[in-house]
Amino acid sequence: MRLSELVNSGYMKKKDLNCAEAILYGANEVYGLGLDPRALKLAAGFGGGMGIKATCGALTGAIMVLGSVFAKEKGHDTPRLKELCAEFLEEYRRQMGSIDCEILKDRYWTKRRECHGVVLKSAEILEQLIAKESGS
């Protein structure tokens, strides 16, 4: 199953996850990242734009995934990682118009679907970038 399919299946709502958790937990399942429950808890504080509607949690979750997938040991050991993060954020901004939770929530949040569209777009861009970088 692809990450976008998992998000579309209602994964976030079923598991009662915030936007950052939905991306990290979902990617952990889809890509077999091997993150244990303690590591997954790292995404908890990034939902809702870190609780103050700053940078979107679905984006910060995706950056965590890029680090998990592509970092050799640390960020400084992997110069390409910074480029991948920038590429992800720029593509998201191009498609959605912003990377800020407050703006995205005003544009896309609905009572029925909440931030589903925002999380789905993050998942789609993330899986495309991972596939391109991995050569698959």
Digit-coded pLDDT (tens) for 60-110: 999 999 999 999 988 899 999 999 999 999 999 999 999 999 999 999 988
Q: Is residue 21 part of a domain?
A: yes
Give the per-residue pLDDT at 112.
Answer: 85
Q: Is residue 97 part of a domain?
A: yes
pLDDT, mean of residues 40-69: 96
- The pLDDT confidence band at residue 122, using thresholds 50, 70 and 90, is very high
Give the per-residue pLDDT at 113.
Answer: 84
Q: Whole-angstrom Cα distance, residue 38 to residue 87?
A: 28
Chain-wide mean pLDDT for the chain? 94
Give the per-residue pLDDT at 126.
Answer: 98
Q: Is residue 19 part of a domain?
A: yes
pLDDT higher than 90, residue 111: no
* Lookup result for tokens 């997938």: 69
Q: Whole-angstrom Cα distance, residue 81 to residue 125?
A: 15
pLDDT higher than 80, residue 136: no
Task: Judge whether 66 and 85 are in contact, CB under 8 Å.
Answer: yes
Predicted model pTM: 0.94
Number of folded domains that form the chain: 1
pLDDT higher than 80, residue 12: yes
Q: Is residue 98 part of a domain?
A: yes
Give the per-residue pLDDT at 20.
Answer: 97
- Segments forming the whole domain that contains residue 19: 3-131
Q: Is residue 58 part of a domain?
A: yes
Q: Is residue 14 part of a domain?
A: yes
Q: Is residue 136 part of a domain?
A: no
